[in-house]
Amino acid sequence: MTYILGPGDSETWPPFVGHPHDPRIPEDDSDDTTAEAINMVRALVVSAAASEVCGDRTMAEKKMVAARDMINELLWQKA
């Protein structure tokens, strides 16, 4: 039996040009924590709203200040 290259074989693929659906695209190994920080800010705001509903205004304010500080850090600003 003879082996014939087909369209699914990597030997017949054109050169890599960076198309996002190309399976040869390198993995993104960056330490981008922006999405994690945004999720943490969202959780703080939701928790602050819950504290406000429960009548704990002091805790709600502390959580909103923490969320503000995180947003300022994301934007490379000092509070």
Domain range list for the chain? 33-79
d(CA 13, CA 70) in angstroms, rounded, equals 46
Residue 64 token pair: 């909103």
Mean pLDDT of all residues in 4-30: 74
Residues in the chain, overall count: 79
Mean pLDDT of all residues in 34-53: 93
Q: What mean pLDDT is reported for the chain?
A: 83
pTM of the predicted model over 0.75: no
